[in-house]
Amino acid sequence: MGTRYDWEEAEIRAIYDTPLLELIYQAATIHRQYHDSRKIQVCKLVSIKTGACPEDCGYCAQSSRYKTEVKPQSLLDKQTVVDIAKQAKESGVSRVCMGAAWREVRDNSQFDQVLDMVKEVTALDLEVCCTLGMLNESQAKRLEDAGLYAYNHNLDTSEDYYSTIITTRTYGDRLRTIDNVRQTNVTVCSGGILGLGETVEDRVSMLKTLSNLQPHPESVPINILSQVEGTPLENQPDVPVWEIIRMIATARIVMPTSDVRLSAGRSRLSEIEQAMCFMAGANSIFSSDDGKMLTVTTPCPGYDTDKEMLELLGLETRESKSKESRSKVRGQRSKVEV
């Protein structure tokens, strides 16, 4: 099966509903056709600017609209970020993602500082990803010029369910930012969150949108909701692990060349459950030096714990991809109409 951009929802639903072990087998087979299944990329997420975000994402501890335990923190200085990145690299990390709780990028001195951080961390031979909110084409170009490897902008859920979770921007806004990134050679990271109260149809619909983007996002994070006290979604039930595995396997099958990242929420999974996720085609995790992903509300296993788990499972960490190996995607627009 080659790379396809015309998946129908019914086809994706049929994959999602395949008997579980058969689904994992199919996904594992495709994983081995396109990737070295012994390699896992370890990523480190750094919150370079925390909290006080004007958006109203119903799951987020950093929205200024909700009273959560997260304390706002202004933009970190460059050296702090570089030091975190150096320590991460020594611990087996090959990709560093910098997140700022902004609605959108503005052309100001703070963006200039982020561009500087991107340059310095890229010089450490790490894949650098940024997640800074919405941006326009010229801002994407400036990030490209600074050496940025990837830009993260998650769709979170289906188009239909999106407005239940977020009202301060639209699904179309999300797709436009992804399209702006696609006008450069910066790769795209876009995925979603399980556990927002969405239906299986919503998950399938989101996978359809992602898998109809041409080219597919090079990186597809699958997050599991961390229920944050004070947010509208604080009482959502946990997503059963089998649903997480189904989602990973289906993403692997419909976007075979993408990196599928087992992202936020992994800390609640046992090693055996994580092993099933890797069998189903996940080939990346986020690990940490401080027990958290972006904020304290999303726990994250530590470097040493993850190193032991990977060794136990016979897996190795993956090096960063060289700039030359990036797909040349400039000018290829998304095929999704919004």
For the annotated catalytic residues, the residue numbers are 53, 57, 60, 97, 129, 189, 261
Residue 261 among known ligand-binding residues = yes
Residue 93 · residue 287 · CB < 8 Å: yes
- Residue 263 within binding range of ligand SF4, rule CB under 6 A: no
How many CB atoms neighbour CB 330 within 10 A?
A: 12
Q: Which is nearer to ligand SF4, 53 or 277 (CB)?
A: 53
Stretch that binds ligand SF4, among 53-61, 83-91, 157-165, 303-311 (CB under 6 A): 53-61
Stretch that binds ligand SF4, among 33-41, 56-64, 172-180, 320-328 (CB under 6 A): 56-64
CA 272, chain centre distance (Å): 22
**Distance between CA 179 and CA 150 in Å, rounded?**
13
Stretch that binds ligand SF4, among 1-9, 21-29, 49-57, 218-226 (CB under 6 A): 49-57
Residue 277 among known ligand-binding residues = no
Among candidates 92, 93, 113, which has minimal Cα distance to 44?
A: 93
Question: How many angstroms separate the most distant Cα atoms in the chain?
Answer: 53
Residue 43 among known ligand-binding residues = no
- How many chain residues are in contact with ligand SF4, going by CB under 6 A? 8
Least distance from ligand SF4 to the Cβ atom of residue 307, Å: 29
Least distance from ligand SF4 to the Cβ atom of residue 57, Å: 3
- Residue 62 within binding range of ligand SF4, rule CB under 6 A: yes
Residue 266 among known ligand-binding residues = no
Q: Which of residues 88-127 bind ligand SF4 (CB under 6 A)?
A: 101
How many CB atoms neighbour CB 260 within 10 A?
A: 28
Report the length, in residues, of the chain. 338
Residue 57 among known ligand-binding residues = yes
How many CB atoms neighbour CB 89 within 10 A?
A: 18
- Residue 55 within binding range of ligand SF4, rule CB under 6 A: yes
**Distance between CA 247 and CA 260 in Å, rounded?**
10
Phi, psi (deg, nearest 5) at residue 152: -95, 130
Considering only 27, 57, 146, 210, the residue that binds ligand SF4 (CB under 6 A) is 57
**Distance between CA 81 and CA 68 in Å, rounded?**
25
Q: Which residues pair with 104 in a beta bridge?
A: 134
**Which residues participate in the annotated binding site?**
53, 57, 60, 97, 129, 189, 261
* Residues of this chain that bind ligand SF4 (CB under 6 A): 53, 55, 57, 60, 62-63, 101, 133
